[in-house]
Amino acid sequence: MTAVLERPGRRFADRRSRTLAWVGLSVLVVLGVVVAGGLAADAAQTTSLTDRNLGPSASHWFGTDRLGRDMLARTLAGLRLSLVVGVAAAVVSAAIALALACSAAVFGGVVDRAVGWLVDLFLALPHLVLLILVAFALGGGTGAVVAAVALTHWPTLTRVLRGRAREVMSSDYVAISRQQGHGRGWIARRHLAGHLTGHFLVGTVLLFPHAILHEAALSFLGLGVDPGEPSIGILLAESMRHLTAGAWWLAVLPGLCLLVVVTLVDTIGSSSRALLDPRSHHL
C-alpha cells in the first residue's frame, strides 16, 4: 500500500525535476546568446570587401553579407538586441496590465467597467495594424518599437490579472480586513500583491516571445530599430535583395536562430506557469 501511495508522488517529483532542468537549460542558452551577442558586437560591424557574399564555411559558419560582415556575429548581435528590446517592452506592457487590473479590482464600479471596456476595445482591433500605426506615429526607432509593443500587448494579461484580482477581492479574508477598517491601499499591498506576483511574472515571460517577434516584424518593415543596428528584422529585410542570387544563408540561418530563441523563451514561460500553478496539469 505504501509503495502505491508513494508512486504518484515520485512521478510528480520526477516531472517537476525534469521541468526545472529544462527551464534551467533554456535560461542558460538565452543568457549565453546575450553574452555572445555582446562579445560579437564589434565583429558584427567589421567589413571585409574581399569576403563578400561567401556561403557558410569553416571560417564563416553563417557566411558573409554584401559587405563581407560575418553573419554569425551579426545574428548573435541581432538576437541580443531583440532580447533587450523584448525584455523592455514585455516589462512595460506587464506593468500596464498589473496597474489596470489592480485599479479595476480595488476601486470597482466605474473603474472596473472602464478597464473592461479598454481591454475589449484593444482586443477587437487588428493587432499588427495597431502595432504598425503606433510605431509609425512615434517615428520609428528603438524607443518607438518598445512603446508600440508595450502599448499593444497588455490586454490579454490584464484580463487574466483582473480575473484573479476579482477572486482575491471577493474572498473572506479581504472582507474581514475591510471590517477591521483597513483601506484599499493596505488591502492591495497585503492581499492583492502577493496573489498576483506569480501570474505577473509568468505573464511577463509569456509576453516576451511576442515582443521579440513583433520587434523583428517592425524592423523588417522599416519601422523598427536604427537600420545601422544588426537587428534580426533588418538582417531579414536586407536578405530579400539577395535571395534571387542564391544567398539563402542570409535569411534562413538568422530566421532559424530567431525561431529557436523564441521557442526557448516560450518554453521558459510555459514551464514556469506549470511550476507556479499547483492546479496545472502540465507538471
Domain 31-38+71-276 falls in which CATH fold? Answer: MetI-like fold (1.10.3720)
Do 105 and 169 form a contact (C-beta atoms < 8 A)?
yes
Cell representation of residue 132:
504598425
- Name the CA radius of gyration of the chain, rounded: 23
In whole angstroms, what is the distance from residue 193 CA to residue 98 CA? 10
Residue 42 confidence (pLDDT)? 86
Nine cell digits for residue 111: 473603474
Residues 6+ apart with CB under 8 A from 107: 184
As given in the structure block, the three cell numbers for residue 168 are 482575491
Per-residue confidence (pLDDT) for residue 234, from 0 to 100: 86
Of the candidates 228, 190, 218, the residue with the CA atom closest to the CA atom of residue 89: 218
> Grid coordinates in use for 144?
518607438
Q: DSSP assignment of 187-201, as one string?
A: HIIIIIHHHHHHHHH
In this prediction, residue 13 carries a pLDDT of 65
The runs of H, that is alpha helices, within the chain are 2-39, 41-45, 71-107, 109-124, 127-137, 142-152, 155-169, 172-179, 184-187, 193-220, 232-239, 249-276
List, in sequence order, the alpha helices (H) in 170-276.
172-179, 184-187, 193-220, 232-239, 249-276
Domain extent listing, the chain: 31-38+71-276
66 within 8 A of 53, measured Cβ to Cβ: yes
The reported pLDDT for the residue numbered 169 is 79
Question: Which residues, other chains included, contact 208 with Cβ-Cβ below 8 Å and sequence gap of 6+?
Answer: 86, 87, 90, 265, 269
Tell me the pTM.
Answer: 0.81
Per-residue pLDDT of the chain in tens (283 residues, 90 and over written 9): 444 444 555 665 667 777 777 778 888 888 888 899 888 888 888 888 888 888 888 888 998 888 888 999 999 998 998 888 888 988 999 999 998 988 888 888 898 899 999 999 888 888 888 888 888 888 878 888 888 888 888 898 899 888 888 888 777 777 777 777 777 777 777 777 777 888 888 888 888 888 888 888 888 888 877 777 788 888 888 888 888 778 888 889 998 999 898 888 888 877 777 766 645 444 3
- Distance between CA atoms of residues 164 and 170, nearest Å: 10
